[in-house]
A and B are shown apart, each in its own frame.
Chain A
């Protein structure tokens, strides 16, 4: 694509992307869509998406998850929960990401997990973490208000924030502060007084024996003033007040844009505003907003293509999904944790900082080692067969075909020419078996800076 291509203006940014001869919707663009809206795609999925075109492909991703899969995963989880082991529950979630027919739902659930962060490091009852996870999934593409209300009553969240009790004589400001700063409004859009008043609205909201309970004896029934509105508010009323704030939609859309479009935070408020309007207009429903986002000109522009660092989960599950690979999840969970993103264990209530923070010496080497270990392990299967048989089945015969097709699937940014020829030469020369060479090619590709980009 031409380097000097103009970025879309705020007015044009969210208009639907229409492929042209100069900027088509090919396998690379489809791969971009799946990397962002899910956990990357395999060769067959890319072909299907190209046939559908950008609008229909995105529509398919936004559609609801089939009930049968959800049911199976639910009973799978019950067995996992019987042991109350949070590491295993994290592995269960990664299994779900690996096999889900609705990757956008899982990707968005992961977004909310970092947004409404709670950690198993503190919440030792794994079932509470599972319940929270199901709550996030239920509303991930749905409405924000019931999601916030669910979180306000969520045992895992309130335990995590030391807010399991909240008495009218000593309102607990922890939860109220995070609602303002991290969950709904964003920093700079409220005062300390607003936090104190909001805390009063949530008095009497308690957790007892792992369940939410409204203790009417401890609720402050007096009048409160939150963000300029006064009334005898309870928690639910106060959330409605927060959602009326224009800053709310802007804050949420800014965060969604960073998650789905680019790590570089130079998307201007003017660019975000039209999307925020859309969110308000849909009564804070995420599915239509994400459909707009994932079909937009901005999403397919140079501001977005290759302008994100892959998170460890995106890297691990993405690699597996793009090659239809299966491998032992405990090891994968372990490695993803070492790369800095153990699901169910965010570092603090702000969630994972993401972007450039994923990258340091140990995580970069760890990423390369992860790819190597995965391809070298003889128990890893690709579409149920060996890597060699899988690549043969896809019809990638020559070294050029192998390197180009793998790059297309695995890399968000094209390889420099001489690196490409180096890889081709590695397959063509040498005395290793074809299988060994193919494993090395995937290992090399998975170690390059390009592979670290989403």
Chain B
């Protein structure tokens, strides 16, 4: 598994960073890393308290669980990994301490990275909290490089040189120089010189750039890590315009991210930040984007006035996934010729023909979609089986979609009739394939109505090993101007009650999504025997090995509380935030 492979390299990566650190007891300089990076830097990242991130990640129970996973241990047996561990051991010996406290000390004062376009150079600035250890570390690295070269019979690879009175070292293309309290590591000589020039004030710095100053002002307080990207050069080249302004051939991508992709070609910069503490990881990214202007092309994404916002997330009992979004599919379908290429439009035409047949001759675009207000709420919950009804061997989640109708009485009738004829159609085709029939029922729910259908229970067989289709009891509910389409009657009934309470749209939130880790885990636990069977099939394992792996996965999931995603449009910026809550 790639995850494990990546995770397995983590300590090595950290070590390589740590190994580049050296911080002599030079007098404290007044220059900040931003003032040392050249003005032509196009990507700049800073992390002032890296230790916080390391502790949060490495001490997390889920990570510890992963590190104890058999697949991870297997990865450790790989020869290239064993080699890395050997090097790590050597360095630890030289430093007289384990890699983790050593890393914490060596980069404890922060780590800052910049990429400069003209020199194609990367500069990494690090600040140690212990100058003595820093000196030991760089000595260890230089020693190792010399020893390794000697081993091969090569000459001393470590070079030393001076630029404008400042001394620096090099091993191959990598250069080290001490500037103030920082160790500067670069990937080429030009960049080393550029940083020295900037440090000495002989060349303008990133800090003096106006756009950078503005972005810096607006950034949130104390992020664990922060990244700034200057897109002006790329913009001038017009690369993004050609790549992103053409018509899309990917409807899912357009629905999910069309608005952002549309804003990107005109955005002069992007910025992203990470917040980490032991219970939470949040990653946000933002670009300038004027929703009302963007709405000219993508009305379906932002609404006519650019202020389209989503309704609050629905959370019926044991919700595993909840999505709420402002998307106007009717508008998207109508504007498809402007949004999508000819191939996709031809597919839309074919789909329209088939969907219209399915909806008993009612045009899918004009009679169905056009009767819906923009916006859609989707929920997926753990399935609740009514008492006495058959429980399937494979337990699928229940799902529902909630939309708002434009002309409730009339539209509701169309939907009701369509639903009834669909159930009839399913009964005919299902009957030919030996499925038991769906029984239709009607119930009042407050001011609304619930039209449900349920499979007749099987005559034979165990009640708790029913076939998979007993997960479905297709149901629609009509409550005021809300239309609910649900895979399960129980869920529809619950939602019918929830949506009776009027709720205002979320301010500035275009799209919101939330996943409850523990409910997801519970749904997997419900299906443990299927997961074991899946593992036996997918990996070819025997039963015991499959059970062991499955249980390890279920245990690892204990650590995840929830994750959520939001797309926010405010103050002429578009911001995406992904948050992971941990236990």
Contacts and interface: CB of A to CB of B under 8 A. Distances in A.
A78 interface: yes
B536 to A, nearest CB: 6
A410 to B, nearest CB: 19
Given A82-B392, A83-B394, A330 B537 contact: yes
A211 to B, nearest CB: 9
Given A76-B533, A79-B393, A379 B434 contact: no
A78 B393 contact: yes
Nearest to B467: A82
B335 interface: no
A302 interface: no
A349 interface: no
Contacts of A384: 545
Contact of A72 (B393, B465, B539, B543): B543
Nearest to A433: B79
Interface in A44-75: 72, 75
Contacts of B89: none
Given A125-B433, A210-B434, A98 B540 contact: yes
Given A92-B537, A99-B542, A329-B537, A84 B393 contact: no
Interface in A207-266: 209-210
Contacts of B533: 76, 79-80
Nearest to A73: B543
A128 B467 CA distance: 14
Interface string B385-422: 00000001110000000000000000000000000000
Contacts of A80: 533, 537
Interface in A319-345: 320, 325-330, 332
Of A82, A91, A95, most buried by chain B (CB within 10 Å of CB) is A82
B233 interface: no
A72 B546 CA distance: 13
A159 B200 CA distance: 88
A91 to B, nearest CB: 5
B144 interface: no
Contacts, number: 60
B540 A328 contact: yes
A82 B530 contact: yes
B213 interface: no
A59 B431 CA distance: 49
B480 to A, nearest CB: 38
Nearest to A209: B434
A82 B433 contact: no
A348 B393 CA distance: 33
Contact of A88 (B537, B539, B540, B545): B537
B468 interface: yes
A327 B540 contact: yes
Contacts of A83: 394, 468
Contacts of B465: 78, 82
A426 interface: no
A72 B393 CA distance: 16
A99 B393 CA distance: 24
B32 interface: no
Interface in A190-214: 209-210
A124 interface: yes
Interface in B153-191: none
A84 B434 contact: no
A332 B530 contact: no
A22 B312 CA distance: 85
A45 B545 CA distance: 21
Nearest to B392: A82
B16 interface: no
A124 B530 CA distance: 22
B463 interface: no
A329 B540 contact: yes
A84 B467 contact: yes
A326 B540 contact: yes
A329 B539 CA distance: 7
A43 to B, nearest CB: 19
A326 B532 CA distance: 15
B538 interface: yes
A379 B539 contact: yes
Contacts of A332: 540
Interface string B501-544: 00000000000000000000000000001101100111111110
B434 A125 contact: yes
Interface string A107-150: 00000000000000000110000000000000000000000000
A82 B529 CA distance: 12
A17 B564 CA distance: 71
B539 A328 contact: yes
A69 to B, nearest CB: 9
11 contacts: A79-B530, A79-B533, A82-B394, A91-B537, A95-B537, A95-B540, A98-B540, A99-B542, A326-B540, A327-B539, A384-B545
Interface of B: 392-394, 433-434, 465, 467-468, 529-530, 532-533, 536-543, 545
Given A329-B536, A329-B537, 7 more contacts: A72-B543, A76-B536, A79-B529, A80-B533, A83-B394, A98-B540, A326-B540
8 closest Cβ pairs, A-B complex: A326-B540, A79-B533, A82-B394, A82-B393, A329-B537, A327-B540, A82-B468, A79-B530
